[in-house]
A and B are shown apart, each in its own frame.
Chain A
Amino acid sequence: MLWLGSTRAMRHGSAMGATGLAADGKGARVALNDAACQRGGRLLFAGVGFALAPGEAALVAGPNGIGKSSLLRMICGLLPVYAGTVAVEGMVALADERLALDMDRPLGRALGFWAALDGRPSSGVAEALEAMALASLADVPVRMLSTGQRKRAVLARTIASGAAIWLLDEPANGLDIASIVLLADAVAQHLAAGGIVIAASHQPLPWAATVSLTLARPRERAEP
């Protein structure tokens, strides 16, 4: 009860900044302070706080429906910050379960749409396809891809975006063992280049996280 009142008073909204940092992510930063998220009148989580500097990774764990995806959506500005502060500096790329690719286009050109929008060279798409072992599927229409291939396409879109901050929602879902190794390599490379990775998953992920966070339901509110 008490904390709810106090967090409300601290509400500053998110300080989103698409400041157009370089792809190497120098100076990227994510800092959450006592952040809370409310959806549909229900408090999902409260008091979440962590800070990430370039080269650091966070792993958000917790059971289904606890608000892992909502936390990621809050960080990238798709959901309002209910209480506390969320400060993000640097370009953000969100990789959730949705493909956001034109189903009828070949994979390479569908990824090229986003690369062009992000102002990235088309060679970035080829590299991202290579990194996710999708190069041989570049000419295949997106709708023909299997579940795992679609997940890899989402990851390739994230890699090709050149964003400093990756928000990965269940990145290992539907991936086979070889693809999980590819994912781990891509994340390691991104972190080594000074990027930030925040991953939400209910299963262990194959990279070392600087911050490990387990979301839990806050105490029920007394009044209805």
Chain B
Amino acid sequence: MPVIFVLMVATLVPFALGPDPRLLSATGGGMLWVAALLAALLPVDRLIEPDLDSGLIDQLVVRGMRDDTVMAAKLAAHWLNFGPPLLVALLPAAALLQLPGEVLLRLELSLLIGTPGLAALALMTAALTAGLKGSSALSGLLVLPLAVPLLIFGAGSLGVESGAALKLLAASALVLVAIAPFAAGAAMRAGRE
């Protein structure tokens, strides 16, 4: 699903911007970062809510598993589900946007570092909004401001002097990944009361 989404964006952008190779290769990297961010958000309303509804998470907790552990497993599963396929989908997408090889390399690297952070954000909002009406719209509103630093550092790392931006991207992604299981676990516990 995220793969198809990214490929759709990569297909549509040249139609919207025109086929000028210089314009496309200048904007393509940023476009693909935006596409990756939105692709991470696509499954937010299906991430936690079905398991919460069916009582699966409660059953795990009754068996002595911590909410944080369940959420950490969810985080890993969500990233595996969209991170690696996305990195592969970037290859045809970069070809469609005529990105130069070195930009593609930097894009792959920055998304490899950034997608765990995006997955962590998606998990936290999914946990917070699980069970609410209109949760998918609400989670979009919640995630977008929080994802802005990732986007800035991620897109910033596509330029020539990319070292500092990559480090900042890695730092923000690490913070998000580190707090996500606990924040989502706390949201689960709060939702139970």
Q: Which residues of A contact B54 (CB under 8 A)?
A: 98-101, 103
Contact between chains at B53 and A98 (CB < 8 Å): yes
Q: Which residues of A contact B49 (CB under 8 A)?
A: none
The segment from A73-81, A131-139, A175-183, A196-204 found at the interface with B is: A73-81
Q: In the docked arrangement, what's the CA distance between A114 and B65, Å?
A: 13
- Besides A18-B64, A77-B61, 19 more A-B contacts (Cβ < 8 Å) are A39-B193, A40-B193, A73-B192, A77-B62, A78-B58, A78-B61, A79-B193, A94-B58, A94-B59, A94-B62, A96-B58, A98-B58, A99-B54, A99-B55, A100-B59, A101-B54, A103-B54, A117-B63, A118-B63
The answer to the question of B56 belonging to the interface, with a C-beta cut-off of 8 Å to chain A, is: yes
Q: Which of A39, A94, A100 has the most CB of B within 10 A?
A: A100
Q: In the docked arrangement, what's the CA distance between A101 and B56, Å?
A: 7
Q: In the docked arrangement, what's the CA distance between A76 and B60, Å?
A: 11
Q: Which residues of B contact A94 (CB under 8 A)?
A: 58-59, 62
Q: Which residues of B contact A79 (CB under 8 A)?
A: 192-193
Q: Which of B53, B55, B61 has the most CB of A within 10 A?
A: B55
The answer to the question of A92 belonging to the interface, with a C-beta cut-off of 8 Å to chain B, is: yes
Decide yes or no: A18 and B63 within 8 Å by CB, A39-B193, A79-B192, A79-B193 being known contacts: yes
Residues in A80-104 with C-beta less than 8 Å from chain B: 80, 92-94, 96, 98-101, 103
Task: List residues of B whose CB falls within 8 A of some A CB.
Answer: 53-56, 58-64, 192-193
Q: Which residue of A lies closest to B54 (CB)?
A: A100
Q: How many A-B residue pairs have CB under 8 A?
A: 39
Q: In the docked arrangement, what's the CA distance between A93 and B63, Å?
A: 8
Tell me how many residues of A have a C-beta within 8 Å of chain B: 21
Q: Which residues of A contact B61 (CB under 8 A)?
A: 77-78
List 10 A-B pairs, Cβ < 8 Å.
A18-B63, A73-B192, A94-B59, A98-B53, A98-B58, A99-B54, A100-B54, A100-B56, A101-B54, A114-B59
Q: Which residues of A contact B60 (CB under 8 A)?
A: 117
State the 9 A-B residue pairs at the shortest beta-carbon distance, nearest first: A98-B55, A18-B64, A100-B55, A100-B59, A100-B56, A76-B62, A94-B62, A100-B54, A78-B192
Q: In the docked arrangement, what's the CA distance between A80 and B54, Å?
A: 21
Q: Which residue of A lies closest to B59 (CB)?
A: A100
Task: Please give the distance in Å from A103's CB to the nearest CB on chain B.
Answer: 8
Decide yes or no: A100 and B193 within 8 Å by CB, A18-B64, A118-B63 being known contacts: no
Q: Which of B59, B192, B193 has the most CB of A within 10 A?
A: B59
Task: Please give the distance in Å from B1's CB to the nearest CB on chain A.
Answer: 17
Task: Please give the distance in Å from B32's CB to the nearest CB on chain A.
Answer: 33
Q: Which residues of A contact B58 (CB under 8 A)?
A: 78, 94, 96, 98, 100
Task: Please give the distance in Å from B93's CB to the nearest CB on chain A.
Answer: 31
Q: In the docked arrangement, what's the CA distance between A99 and B54, Å?
A: 6
Q: In the docked arrangement, what's the CA distance between A126 and B16, Å?
A: 59
Q: Which of B58, B60, B62, B192 has the most CB of A within 10 A?
A: B62
Decide yes or no: A78 and B62 within 8 Å by CB, A99-B54, A100-B54, A101-B54 being known contacts: yes
Q: Which residues of B contact A77 (CB under 8 A)?
A: 61-62
Q: Which of B54, B61, B63, B64 has the most CB of A within 10 A?
A: B63
Q: In the docked arrangement, what's the CA distance between A40 and B190, Å?
A: 11
Residues in A98-139 with C-beta less than 8 Å from chain B: 98-101, 103, 114, 117-118
Contact between chains at A93 and B62 (CB < 8 Å): yes
